[in-house]
Amino acid sequence: MRVEAIDLYHLAMPLVAPFVTSFGREDVHDCILVRVSGEGSSGWGEAPVMRAPLYNEETIETAWHMLRDLLIPAALGRDYAHPAEVGGWWAAVRRNYMAKAGVEMACWDLWANSEGLSLAEALGGEKERIPAGVSVGLQASDHDLVALVRRHLAEGYRRIKVKIKPGRDLRLLEALRDSLGGFPLMADANSAYRLSDAPHLQELDRFALMMLEQPLDHDDLVDHAALQALLTTPICLDESILSAEDARRALQLGSCRVVNIKAPRVGGLGAARRLQETCAAQGVPVWCGGLLETGIGRAHNLALASLAGFTLPGDTSPSSRYFSEDIIEPPVTMSADGYIAVPRGPGLGHTVVMEQVRRWTLRAESFSDR
């Protein structure tokens, strides 16, 4: 398979409701869509970078620069027999994982399309459907949060994740447990705490959480190990795990008992699969996280979560959870019992609606090997 052309689109899609975390509020989902074309076919990927470096160090502007000036020139005209090779094209380029993932994941889709395989089949996925979880941002009040979570449980979600931060944690979780009982619940702190908060975080053990996600610094493993030793609640690492090697070190230190895998965070589907294999070898459960992706990124997530090693419900909500109208057809939907079918058509298994892509595109740029 030869990479003959690459198109970039910077999209800004309004969310149906604001998404609030410990580091800020998002009303719009910014991202860079990547379309890779070759040999009469094309594939799509998504780099879900933000306008500011709040989740990781990348932004729309830095990712656009990396793609335009370094990653795309290194990809154009390249041949690959299997998409597992693609990540190695930029081995000398440090980090910038989301920018890399945009091209790498599009190359997976391109190859799967050319082979007549679904993306899940190309990855080795086995599941026909996956349990859906939902991530709920901070609300104006605990009462509002309880009402929203009650609605999501009625919709069938198999797991609820709520955002917490200092001053919005114990009472918030207590309100959920008192009002709604023992449903599958986890909390995500997005690095809002410090190790000195350990006595406070120990109080979370009484809520029987599935896990506490990324309570300490985004690049920390050592303090997380110290904290995990003090908690009954399993710690799940997200931002701290950027590779299979990071996972190996974290598990060796005892920094966590669960890992959240986001393909864009680690550089693409190939790296995500290696990370899952590392965790599986240690008997550590993983799940597929989300970054408010469009239907393109969501379809990639579904394919990744179809791997047998993903044993916990992920952040794989249907399209309507975030967007009034997605950029794929058909949109991602959820059954009444809280499952999403893994697409079985070629590649993503969805059609990208170019009219919708153009509607939300702020800028675009095309590159060719000719």
**Is 127 one of the catalytic residues?**
no
100, 161, 163, 165: which one is catalytic?
A: 163
Q: Which member of 100, 161, 165, 262 is catalytic?
A: 262
Task: Confirm whether 163 is a catalytic residue.
Answer: yes
- Please say whether the dihedral angle defined by the alpha carbons of residues 45, 51, 57 and 58, taken in this order, is positive or negative: positive
Q: Which amino acid is at 187?
A: A
Q: How far apart are CA 335 and CA 330, in angstroms?
A: 14
Give the contacts of 295 (CB within 8 A, at least 6 positions apart): 319, 326, 327, 328, 331, 332, 350, 352
158 within 8 A of 132, measured Cβ to Cβ: yes
User: How far is residue 97's CA from residue 57's CA, in Å, rounded to a whole number?
Assistant: 10
Token pair belonging to 176: 């959920």
Contact by Cβ (8 Å): 299, 343: yes
| In contact, 268 and 87? CB cutoff 8 Å | yes
Q: Do the beta carbons of residue 267 and residue 101 sit within 8 Å?
A: yes
Closest CA to 85 of 267, 243, 266, 270: 270
- Residue 307 φ then ψ, to 5°: -65, 140
* Catalytic residue annotation: 163, 262
